[in-house]
């Protein structure tokens, strides 16, 4: 079966937006969990979550504005319901639905039902998530329906080009999200003094990072020692068996590309990304260095994304 | 005409199904099912687009839960009549683009063809397979106070609604599973398969497994839901003009991720004026340059054929009974609504003298636009209408105001009332013909209203063709 270049673009972005909504839900949920565990005196703030989406926190919270709730309401509004933020859960789900609405001829009907359900759910219930008690339930449902969508495709969709495009979108977004979470959290964590009482906090925060990538349990199984930054970073970057690790995503991207026609220019971009990954230094204690590593990875991911678009999604020039 | 009860108050034969339903559930139970159906429509994402909605691109499809019931025996006659009608219309289209015998023989006036905005001289001399031009058509039927079906108009360009007919059935089955088990209701599911068979037969010679494509104006078109739905059911690619390219070999290709791939048959859902900027409107951004070349060369099948709209004209409509007699030598099996043609002075006089009692229609509008209903128009509107007729008589026809039949409809939380309906069956014409079992019933929701268009506040119903003898009791 043929796949139109225009449709390839929409399937790919449908997957990226779905993954973005799911990942944001995971991150916010894990952070909320961490927040209530945290001693008030430690002064944990919500601001850094905004930076994960690439937005400077001041643009959402204002410069020098005091937020009695440490920014909780404003940040959650920004990340969950704000339709003006293209990375918010509401906006991502709306974009995912629009992309699937316009690719219904290649996607299984049940997939449309699932995204339609997700979209209706988010429209109706997102405002409820401002309340702590229902937030967890809301975010959990977003993740669940997003997972169900992949389950539908897994079990009913032929393994041809549209399926590969969907997988590529999911994996590229997922790899990108992992680097963003690491980048922002590492910068905030590693700049600190490592005197004893804070070290305890540090461990809790790394646990939060693992949780926000749904990685805690798998990390515990894979790592023998306690939770410490180098081991966590090694796991999230290089532990191939874990599906949200950058290495794991890249290996799957390679497999998907090899099933698509003429992938060599995209494979070249993927190789550059793999080089950037190998060059990361997880054992440094310099937060800025980790942050810079993650920036380089994100740049290489953006280049991969462009290579995919260039190779498979150009519709306006004769081939 | 009340479709449920005969004038003596007894339920009509096929309507016993409705008694079962309306009587047993009562208004409250029906309201509950109505709510269930609406929830189902949201879940299934059955939508339509209204241009004026701004951001809200797709809106939930309006559906009334009480089905519209038609007796199977009556329907069989309608089906035969529709097939007859389309045979004549296709013979007419083929004739006007080729020999024009109908004009030479004095049956159809030459000046009408000369003035027709839907006649495409670029199609002269083309001989599509089976002599068929209007492959997919939708004729609007109404039931008058005498209980008979009349054809109100023929839609031969890009008639829409069939996806809603199919989705209405899917919703009804979920809401009334028990009824489908007990009654003999004809299935409608075969449509997509028949459509695929018909389209496949339009492939260029020697192509056994043609690549089908549905050509849509794009995601903002009011019928995009249907385009997408049909592409899905056909296993066809849903393409926009920019996805297609005509090569130097006069073949049509689509831009896929593997490069250019040949397309053999196009079910076009854009008006033919926009199909090919090389031949028709040069400013069309949604068309495909060179498509007509490819079609004329026989390298691609196009349904409906460009130019088919020449017979989709409310003036040509008035000639259909004559065309049936002329081409088929048969008497029409379904009647036209009596129609006055303003191009003829005596008929125009009659129309102008009786404007207040007539429905006046422009010849080439669709979707209910431009229609003036005499007894509801203000004196100013009537005066405006009269001068429009004087200015361009050929573009106007008038018909009596019909008393559309009424059927029970959910009108509120605990209320069921009678509302006016029409019916759009879909007819496929190719090597053979196929008529949908029933069609899309549209219902005018405001009390007394006769306007059924969904773009103007109409709703819809599932249509049940019920075989009484087979169904028992």
Q: What are phi and psi of B81, to 5 degrees?
A: -65, -40
Question: Any CB–CB contact under 8 A between B258 and chain A?
Answer: yes
What average pLDDT does this structure show over A223-242? 91
Instruction: Provide the pLDDT confidence category of residue A237 given band limits of 50, 70 and 90.
Output: very high
pLDDT of residue B403: 81
pLDDT above 70 coverage of chain B, percent: 96
**Rg (alpha carbons) of chain B, rounded to whole number:** 23
Question: Any CB–CB contact under 8 A between A113 and chain B?
Answer: yes
Distance, in Å, from the CA atom of B46 to the CA atom of A216, rounded to the nearest integer, reads 41
Chain B environment of A262 (Cβ under 8 Å): 258
pLDDT of residue A316: 47
Tokens standing for B19?
């008694």
Question: Any CB–CB contact under 8 A between A120 and chain B?
Answer: yes
Measuring CA to CA, how many Å separate B457 from each of B438, B445, B451?
Answer: 22, 7, 8
What average pLDDT does this structure show over A272-280? 96
Distance, in Å, from the CA atom of A126 to the CA atom of B58, rounded to the nearest integer, reads 20
Chain A environment of B214 (Cβ under 8 Å): 105
Q: Per mean pLDDT, which range of A41-50, A246-255, B273-282 is the poorest?
A: A41-50
Question: Any CB–CB contact under 8 A between A50 and chain B?
Answer: no
What 3-state class would DSSP assign to B1? coil
pTM, entire model: 0.89
Residue among B257, B262, B267, B286 with most chain A CBs within 10 A, to mutate: B257
What 3-state class would DSSP assign to B271? coil
Q: Per mean pLDDT, which range of A105-109, A112-116, B449-453 is the poorest?
A: B449-453
- Listed as own residue / partner, the contacts of B4-9 with beta carbons closer than 8 Å and 24 or more positions apart are B4/B69, B4/B407, B4/B408
Residue among B39, B40, B45, B233 with most chain A CBs within 10 A, to mutate: B45
pLDDT of residue B296: 96
pLDDT of residue B472: 45
Measuring CA to CA, how many Å separate B294 from each of A5, A204, B93, B246?
Answer: 22, 68, 20, 7
E-strand ranges in chain A read: none
pLDDT of residue A93: 97
Among the partner-chain residues A2, A261, A312, the one whose CB lies closest to the CB of B254 is A2
At A182-209, the pLDDT tens digits run 988 776 665 555 554 555 667 777 888 8
Question: Any CB–CB contact under 8 A between B261 and chain A?
Answer: yes
Q: Which residue stretches of chain B have pLDDT < 50?
A: 470-473
Q: Mind telling me how many Å the CA of A134 is from chain B's nearest CA? A: 23
Question: Any CB–CB contact under 8 A between B245 and chain A?
Answer: yes
Tokens standing for A161?
């080009």
């Amino acid at each position: 079966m043929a796949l139109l270049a225009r449709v390839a673009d929409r399937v790919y972005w449908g997957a990226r937006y779905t993954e973005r909504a799911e990942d944001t839900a995971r991150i916010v949920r894990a952070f909320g969990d961490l927040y209530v565990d945290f001693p008030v005196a430690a002064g944990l703030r919500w601001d850094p979550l905004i930076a994960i989406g690439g937005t400077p926190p001041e643009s959402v919270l204002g410069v020098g504005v005091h937020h009695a709730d440490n920014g909780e309401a404003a940040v959650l509004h920004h990340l969950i319901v704000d339709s003006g933020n293209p990375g918010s859960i509401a906006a991502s789900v709306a974009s995912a639905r629009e992309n699937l609405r316009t690719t219904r001829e290649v996607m299984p009907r049940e997939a449309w039902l699932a995204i339609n359900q997700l979209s209706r759910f988010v429209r109706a219930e997102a405002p409820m998530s401002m309340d702590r008690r229902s937030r967890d339930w809301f975010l959990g449902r977003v993740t669940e329906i997003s997972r169900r969508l992949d389950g539908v495709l897994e079990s009913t969709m032929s393994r041809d080009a549209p399926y590969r495009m969907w997988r590529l979108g999911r994996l590229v977004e997922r790899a990108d999200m992992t680097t963003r979470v690491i980048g922002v959290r590492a910068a905030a964590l590693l700049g600190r003094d490592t005197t004893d009482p804070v070290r305890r906090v540090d461990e809790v925060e790394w646990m939060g990072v693992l949780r926000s990538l749904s990685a805690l349990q798998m990390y515990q199984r894979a790592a023998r020692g306690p939770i410490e930054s180098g081991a966590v970073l090694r796991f999230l970057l290089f532990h191939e068996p874990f599906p949200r690790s950058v290495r794991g995503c890249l290996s799957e991207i390679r497999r998907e590309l090899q099933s698509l026609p003429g992938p060599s220019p995209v494979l070249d971009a993927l190789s550059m990304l793999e080089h950037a990954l190998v060059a990361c230094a997880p054992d440094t204690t310099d937060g800025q260095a980790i942050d810079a590593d993650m920036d380089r990875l994100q740049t290489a991911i953006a280049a991969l994304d462009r290579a995919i678009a260039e190779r498979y999604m150009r519709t306006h020039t004769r081939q | 005409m009340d479709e449920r009860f005969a004038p003596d108050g007894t339920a009509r034969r096929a309507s016993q199904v409705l008694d079962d339903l309306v009587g047993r559930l009562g208004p409250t139970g029906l309201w509950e099912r109505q709510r269930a159906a609406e929830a189902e429509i949201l879940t299934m994402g059955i939508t339509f687009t209204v241009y004026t909605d701004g951001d809200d691109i797709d809106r939930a499809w309006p559906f009334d839960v009480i089905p519209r019931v038609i007796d199977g025996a009556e329907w069989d006659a309608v089906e035969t009549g529709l097939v007859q009608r389309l045979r004549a219309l296709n013979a007419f289209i083929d004739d006007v683009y080729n020999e024009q015998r109908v004009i030479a023989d004095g049956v159809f006036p030459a000046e009408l063809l000369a003035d027709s905005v839907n006649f495409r001289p670029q199609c002269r001399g083309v001989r599509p397979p089976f002599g068929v031009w209007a492959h997919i058509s939708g004729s609007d039927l109404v039931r008058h106070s005498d209980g008979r079906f009349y054809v109100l108009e023929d839609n031969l360009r890009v008639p829409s609604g069939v996806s809603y007919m199919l989705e209405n059935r899917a919703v009804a089955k979920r809401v009334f599973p028990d009824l489908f088990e007990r009654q003999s209701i004809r299935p409608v599911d075969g449509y997509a398969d028949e459509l695929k068979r018909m389209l496949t037969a339009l492939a260029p010679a020697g192509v056994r497994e043609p690549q089908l494509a549905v050509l849509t104006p794009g995601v903002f078109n009011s019928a995009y839901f249907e385009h997408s739905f049909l592409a899905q059911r056909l296993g066809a690619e849903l393409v926009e003009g920019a996805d297609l390219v005509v090569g130097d070999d006069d073949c049509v290709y689509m831009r896929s991720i593997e490069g250019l791939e040949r397309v053999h048959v196009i079910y076009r859902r854009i008006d033919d004026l926009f199909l090919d900027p090389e031949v028709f409107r040069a400013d069309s951004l949604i068309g495909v340059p060179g498509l007509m070349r490819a079609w004329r060369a026989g390298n691609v099948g196009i349904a409906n054929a460009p130019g088919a709209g020449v017979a989709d004209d409310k003036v040509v409509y008035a000639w259909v009974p004559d065309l049936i007699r002329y081409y088929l030598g048969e008497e029409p099996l379904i009647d036209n609504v009596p129609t006055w043609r303003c191009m003829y002075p005596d008929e125009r006089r009659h129309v102008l003298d009786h404007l207040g009692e007539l429905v006046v229609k422009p010849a080439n509008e669709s979707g209910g636009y431009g229609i003036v209903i005499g007894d509801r128009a203000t004196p100013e509107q009537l005066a405006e209408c009269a001068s429009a007729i004087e200015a361009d008589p050929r573009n106007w026809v008038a018909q009596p105001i019909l008393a559309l039949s009424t059927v029970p409809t959910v009108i509120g939380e605990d209320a069921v009332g009678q509302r006016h309906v029409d019916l759009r069956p879909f007819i496929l014409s190719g090597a053979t013909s196929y008529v949908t079992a029933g069609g899309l019933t549209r219902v005018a929701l405001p009390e007394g209203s006769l306007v059924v268009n969904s773009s103007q506040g109409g709703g819809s119903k599932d249509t049940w063709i019920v075989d009484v003898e087979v169904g028992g009791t």
